[in-house]
A = this chain, B = another copy of it.
Amino acid sequence: MQESQSAATPFAPASLSSVIGVRVQPGPIRLAVIDTDSGFVRVLAKRVGEMGWQQRVLTAAPRPDELVSMRLHALVVDLALFGERGWEFLAQVCESVPGLAVIVCTGSSSVAQRVRGLRLGADDWITKPCHPQEVIARVEAVVRRRKRGAPGAAQDRPVVAGELEIRPDQFQAFVGGQSIDLTRREFELLHLLANAGGRVLERDDIYQHVWGYAMVRGDRSVDVFVRKVRQKIERFSPGWTYIHTHFGIGYRFEPEVPDEDTPGPELEPEESERFMLPGQ
């Protein structure tokens, strides 16, 4: 009964460990680099990959709406690529994608240029040549600062799956606007699974991520909580199956309405099939 995984993302496939990761973030940082310096890009990409971040390398300026659709956390850009239009690009990006961390990484520059760049909205300005570790550290610093800015889970967008709506800002899931009444652990479990992009997550990984420490052999907590979540969802979204068991492995999230006849007696299946994979 093994099932195939979901489609690949535009980003380099992230390892499971990076999804479950060490608690740096709700997930790995999504980073884009705009540069043509192949040596620099290669070295940086290697380090970024080691960090478990997702990355994209661009050699030309994307449109602002493309940047938005990439759902980036940070952008590293060499303004030299753009010549005179660099300032314009920088200003436009900073204005149209205010949540995006912008780090300029470019060759030698004057104080006046750096000040201008920072004033236009850049978050940092690094002078080449530079060490990739420093670039990474500065990206981290900027992203960290950005997340601290807004209390509450403004960073996570709601996920709609089948009749379910998972809202990180409420630490709660809803069906038809009504709260499922999940506890914190239950919610985190569901949230983790729903954001795994259809992958099967192993028990140990789930436990590690939701409970925060390593699972001891024989611990049934994950199973018990999966049951609780299933029950609570079933009460409000009968007929649907969201959490699938993979024997000997773990669990996988995917909304599935068992064929036909018994749709919702009262619940309209309006938002069916609207499952969106988180970001990417």
Contacts and interface: CB of A to CB of B under 8 A. Distances in A.
A208 B152 CA distance: 12
A101 B184 contact: no
A254 to B, nearest CB: 10
A152 B196 contact: yes
Nearest to A248: B184
Interface in A123-176: 123-124, 131, 133-134, 136-138, 140-142, 144-154, 169-172
Nearest to A99: B148
Contacts of A137: 114-115, 118-119
Contacts of A131: 111, 115
A264 to B, nearest CB: 12
A123 B124 CA distance: 10
Contact of A170 (B99, B147, B200): B200
A6 interface: no
Given A141-B124, A247-B184, A133 B111 contact: yes
